[in-house]
């Protein structure tokens, strides 16, 4: 984040902790007021009109790649400009205490921990009822086909989702908030949402996304690179031990980033986490059970607190440099 006077640094650090409290107490705002929902509506509108049906897809389509890149850049620019304007107005016109409150409410929709934790634990609760109920609940979290997953695979997928989205939904937005303020967090959430909606290799919902979504996928890879590795470190801090071999395990996944928090979680829990036919992390580990899901959620909560503490320190260091 650009350096601020000390009183603004105090306000921004307070805003971060207040935003976490809002997340804990209130959860997500209504969809009609949620900026990430607005981002998704823009991305969905563009994608549904430009991504080609599978039958019309080309093996190489540079114009479609450029159109996807342009659509991404226009959306990211609009998000960044609006967020920068909101932040500038708050900093200029509000006293420090009001800045903290207003910034907290502006920042909160750009990350989500309570919802992620609740959804993952709901998968385990549903599995206690039946395998079909667990599959239905998991389908709310992941894009993969869940119909043929076993109970073990459903639980593994839920734990993987918690680890991966700990980065995407919390660590990375706060990382970019510390570096670039509200615009940084907002643009990251746009990039991550674009990757989730456009960044597919091949077909989804009857359309081919390979070339149209390639820019979105690579942009998210770039912006998530360092936060994903920090997430693995934060999970190690939460468990108070280092997951030996995490780098090697992380390389087993196709993604350059998501493997880091997932591999860290697998090694720390001592369980096997796998996506059938794609990868297996800590392949010699034992099958995950309900207690492992609970432990993963506890470590995730500790990692959230560690993230906020480190972010606060970084904000204060920036204020010291300014002074």
- Using one digit for the tens of pLDDT, what is the confidence trace for 214-241? 999 999 999 999 999 999 999 999 999 9
Percent of the chain with pLDDT strictly greater than 70: 97
Angle at Cα 151 formed by Cα 147 and Cα 154, nearest 5°? 65
- With beta carbons less than 8 A apart as the criterion, state whether 210 and 202 touch: yes
- With beta carbons less than 8 A apart as the criterion, state whether 280 and 250 touch: no
* Residue the block writes with tokens 């549904």: 48
Q: How far apart are alpha carbons 73 and 76 in whole angstroms? A: 5
pLDDT tens, 14-53?
999 999 999 999 999 999 999 999 999 999 999 999 999 9
């Amino acid at each position: 984040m650009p350096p601020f006077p000390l009183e603004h640094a105090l306000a921004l650090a307070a805003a971060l902790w207040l935003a976490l409290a809002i997340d804990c107490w209130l959860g997500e705002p209504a969809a009609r007021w949620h900026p990430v929902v607005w981002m998704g509506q823009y991305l969905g509108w563009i994608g549904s009109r430009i991504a080609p049906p599978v039958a019309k897809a080309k093996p190489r389509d540079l114009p479609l790649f450029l159109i996807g890149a342009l659509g991404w850049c226009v959306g990211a620019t609009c998000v960044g400009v609006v967020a920068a304007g909101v932040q500038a107005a708050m900093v200029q016109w509000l006293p420090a205490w009001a800045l903290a409150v207003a910034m907290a409410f502006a920042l909160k929709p750009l990350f989500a921990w309570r919802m992620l934790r609740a959804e993952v634990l709901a998968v385990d609760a549903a599995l206690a009822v039946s395998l079909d109920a667990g599959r239905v609940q998991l389908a709310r979290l992941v894009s993969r086909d869940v119909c043929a997953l076993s109970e073990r695979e459903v639980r593994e997928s839920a734990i993987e989702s918690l680890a991966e989205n700990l980065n995407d939904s919390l660590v990375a937005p706060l990382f970019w908030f510390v570096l670039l303020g509200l615009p940084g967090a907002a643009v990251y959430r746009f990039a991550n949402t674009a990757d989730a909606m456009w960044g597919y290799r091949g077909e989804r919902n009857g359309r081919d996304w390979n070339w149209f979504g390639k820019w979105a996928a690579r942009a998210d890879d770039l912006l998530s690179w360092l936060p994903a590795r920090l997430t693995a470190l934060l999970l190690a801090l939460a468990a108070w031990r280092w997951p030996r071999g995490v780098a090697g395990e992380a390389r087993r996944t196709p993604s350059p980033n998501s493997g880091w928090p997932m591999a860290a979680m697998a090694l720390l829990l001592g369980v096997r986490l796998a996506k059938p036919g794609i990868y297996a992390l800590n392949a010699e580990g034992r099958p995950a059970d309900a207690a492992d899901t609970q432990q993963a959620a506890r470590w995730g909560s500790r990692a959230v607190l560690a993230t906020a503490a480190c972010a606060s320190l970084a904000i204060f260091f920036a204020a010291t440099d300014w002074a």
